[in-house]
A and B are shown apart, each in its own frame.
Chain A
């Protein structure tokens, strides 16, 4: 025990070499093992944690010998070995006690404690149903992995009906058992049990997950189809969200089956937004979208119940990436539904500022930025945003809106001579000056 802490130099030396042994017999490693072995991996362990060098502590100052012995003894899994150096009488007593507890009267508390420590404890002597239930209730009150151990024992030694009866009366035990099934990957028993205990919604979810994780497209579609039908007709109540999502998953699967070209451009298990993005890429008529084609972005968004905001945001990103800025206007044009003959209006479902910033990130030309900025009502915000995205014309517009003549003049002087922006700025200044005697200005003076 001493040699681990003996010298400081040892720790300093070892800290640098953590996890990189200089093994002499490195040669006999097969190549795949070298790549697997930690010694070949240099990403590990830049830092090493050699607190002990500075700690200068010994274990004895922390724990008494007795305590340390207890800790180590509790760690050992197998404590059925008889201690050495015991007198024959005591040994006999000990053996008798052991025999007593294994064969005749099982000791509840001792068993529960052993299980909690993770030590093997024989459960076989819990024979009667009453004893079994008592055991389960004891470990349930205590909590911990012992519950699962006891449940597995009960399942093995009881008839299924009995076992389920016990679970039914103890919801917490059921929860633990379900968690065990889930972790062990036993999907069919998991679903079975959920259904048996009336948790049909969770069972449906599990089935849905299983269906989606199918590799083969055809089985996936069939399983989804079956699930959708079963869910609607089972008569156990319907959660609208689940029903909708099951349906859209099935519809999207069918669509992707038909449009094989589309599937190839997408990864495995595409999300609806990814498919929408691909639809946007494939769409070449943004002026009048053909709603009869299932792949037209607007139709797809409607079919999948993609919210207007999500549709607009996806289309905005895709068109801007494709540098097809002319189409942007079409995305945000909406014929007012209450008056179909009225001309199209600009409509956006999320904060305009976010759209402008994203377009700027995607390096959209300033004319496009100006178009979006021109829709902003609040001139102060508009000015700040326009300055942020360096759209000079919009800055000029905003300043004109705020009647900041001086600032406009200053701006004009900084702009390159005879540039388009300078002319634009001059015009704005002129119109401001010509409007000097408008009514509201007079009102202000009064």
Chain B
């Protein structure tokens, strides 16, 4: 029998259930589950509470790091936590007095800890050191890919970016490799895997190191996999998206595929310093309705499904029109005969009211977005100028003014990071900014600059050298150096608007016509996300030679084939010299692509890939460890 690709991807839920069941059923006794609060939302994508009850869980609690849970003599406690070292050690400390006070009965383990997504191998050592070996049993559980929406998968591993890119700690990667391996089992082996970046290549090697797979039952689904490191395309996450789904994520807190719409506070308002917020915003908190949530899933919410990847301006007017139309529809009720009314109330009304509540939710959300984004056009011009390197000095001035008068903790820093990534920021310029920044948010945030520097998002701060060299570097010599970003963006033609200055007035017109012809519409016609560009190269090329010529000079790209790994160019020449062009994997026989972004994908990327897919008649699935908005990346540097 044939199952569609989307079905298979949704089927990960079944595998996740199977895995969870295997753990729960291996534990005998009266079981109580104590969940870390952050796990609840993603776990809801795996199973329901009644399912857990069927598996013998009698009660479920939220784990509280400050308070330990007493246990009745005959109960078995199963803790489920994220595999963070800090969480793990606090839990062990909490368990220590409890477990040791009781009569240690090794034969029956009363405490179990399930680490999500993986129980790191040194956790066992820590367990031994705490004297809990034998009393507490460890398990690991990986729910693998969670199906958020059509073409969107997430592993829901929120700290991966911070660990891997900011701290150089690759601990979270092996579970990702395991999930990718599972994907291979479910969806078959792709004929080619393209990796871009160090961590991506590492992941592919891990998949291979994990061992051979049993023969797949189903036919292969994907023609190619594309694994990209986040730091190979920072602009796609740092630029402010222009599409509906992207902006929703900018403004509202996302929890496992749904956003929380709260009138009194949101991601942007909490970034601001409270003292300097205007009065009107502070008042709003007094009487606000209960926050509601919107699921970012097109089958569950058709309004979201219709609008998710459209330009925001278009969406907000569409939603308004829909509200009006619904209002008219409901007014009809007044002019009806009694019998008609009966029929209407019984049949149509429930659907209409449901639709109405959905539309109103979206209306509310889009209005908050408009209010929060403030002068959106100005921000977009600023970002466009950053991309095209137009008048540096003015850009720095504008970022500083935003810091002073708007003061968003993460978003202003994000603009500076974008500026550095695209055109480079000098240490002296960073120093000026950092000074003002610390004044606003407090001295304790000084180390953020060092951390972002480690990820290459900001220039490193170096100790002052002796006077002469400093004098030399201070000489205003013109620098014609191109940043790596500019070089690569030019090679891959990612920049679609050119800040020549002359099209100041005309650019908006251009954008309007461009909107639906180029994936750059996700950033208002300024930039094509790298993932989307690579997809269209893979899908449109008719042989390896074409691929390699389009990807020349891009360092860090590796082609992984069954025969081993190579570079695109070497692959093309090898095919030519050995004269076996018929073995060429291009053009791809299977038109479906799987994209994995190591370190958080943005909705702009997803939308751009979706656009490419529609254009080429392919299906593209975008997966990542989590879905993030630009401010989330910056916020990761703040986690102490």
Interface residues of B in 520-554 (CB under 8 A from A): none
Map CB proximity to A onto B198-227 as digits: 1 under 8 Å, 0 otherwise.
010010011001110111111000000000
A14 within 8 A of B: yes
Q: How far is the CA of A153 from the CA of B128 in the complex (A)?
A: 13
In the assembled complex, the CB of A83 is this many whole angstroms from the nearest CB of chain B, namely: 16
A212 touches B15 (CB 8 A): no
B444 touches A269 (CB 8 A): yes
Q: How far is the CA of A58 from the CA of B218 in the complex (A)?
A: 13
| Given A180-B85, A202-B450, CB of A39 within 8 Å of CB of B211 | no
Stretch from B56-64, B246-254, B320-328, B388-396 forming part of the interface with A: B56-64
A33 within 8 A of B: yes
Stretch from A99-107, A142-150, A403-411, A419-427 forming part of the interface with B: A142-150
Q: How far is the CA of A419 from the CA of B143 in the complex (A)?
A: 71
B404 touches A48 (CB 8 A): no
Q: How far is the CA of A241 from the CA of B84 in the complex (A)?
A: 32
A321 and chain B: residue at smallest CB distance: B279
In the assembled complex, the CB of B218 is this many whole angstroms from the nearest CB of chain A, namely: 8
Map CB proximity to A onto B153-188 as digits: 1 under 8 Å, 0 otherwise.
000000000010001111111100110001001100
B141 within 8 A of A: yes
| Given A18-B44, A57-B14, A63-B185, CB of A239 within 8 Å of CB of B462 | yes
A37 touches B85 (CB 8 A): no
A36 touches B61 (CB 8 A): yes
Q: How far is the CA of A72 from the CA of B205 in the complex (A)?
A: 22
A208 touches B446 (CB 8 A): yes
B443 within 8 A of A: yes
| Given A144-B206, A149-B121, A245-B443, CB of A72 within 8 Å of CB of B18 | yes
Q: Which of A19, A248, A309, A362 contacts B278 (CB 8 A)?
A: A362
Stretch from A84-92, A289-297, A350-358, A378-386 forming part of the interface with B: A350-358
Stretch from A113-121, A338-346, A430-438 forming part of the interface with B: A113-121
B67 within 8 A of A: yes
Count of chain A residues with Cβ under 8 Å from any Cβ of B?
122
A31 within 8 A of B: no
Chain A residues with CB below 8 A from B122, complex form: 145, 148-149, 152
Q: Which of A11, A55, A71, A241 contacts B434 (CB 8 A)?
A: A241
In the assembled complex, the CB of B263 is this many whole angstroms from the nearest CB of chain A, namely: 16
Chain B residues with CB below 8 A from A15, complex form: 48
A200 and chain B: residue at smallest CB distance: B463
Q: How far is the CA of A30 from the CA of B442 in the complex (A)?
A: 42
Map CB proximity to B onto A261-278 as digits: 1 under 8 Å, 0 otherwise.
000000001111110010
Q: Which of A113, A149, A206 contacts B210 (CB 8 A)?
A: A113
Chain A residues with CB below 8 A from B210, complex form: 113, 116-117
Q: Which of A17, A121, A142, A313 contacts B276 (CB 8 A)?
A: A313
B168 touches A172 (CB 8 A): yes
In the assembled complex, the CB of B632 is this many whole angstroms from the nearest CB of chain A, namely: 20
Map CB proximity to B onto A140-163 as digits: 1 under 8 Å, 0 otherwise.
001111111100110000000000
Task: List the 5 closest pairs (A to B, CB-CB), nearest first.
Answer: A237-B463, A361-B278, A175-B168, A14-B50, A179-B169
Instruction: Give 21 A-B contacts (CB < 8 Å), ordered by A residue.
Output: A1-B18, A1-B21, A36-B69, A41-B62, A44-B40, A49-B13, A52-B14, A55-B14, A71-B19, A117-B174, A118-B119, A121-B121, A143-B173, A145-B122, A201-B450, A213-B444, A252-B443, A270-B442, A271-B273, A309-B404, A310-B439
Interfacial residues, chain B to chain A (CB-CB below 8 A): 1, 3, 7-8, 10-11, 13-15, 17-19, 21-23, 26, 35, 40, 44-45, 48-51, 53-54, 58-62, 64, 67, 69-70, 84-86, 89, 118-122, 124-125, 138-142, 147, 163, 167-174, 177-178, 182, 185-186, 199, 202, 205-206, 209-211, 213-218, 258, 273, 275-276, 278-280, 292-293, 295, 300, 400-401, 404-405, 430-431, 434-436, 438-444, 446-447, 449-450, 461-465, 640
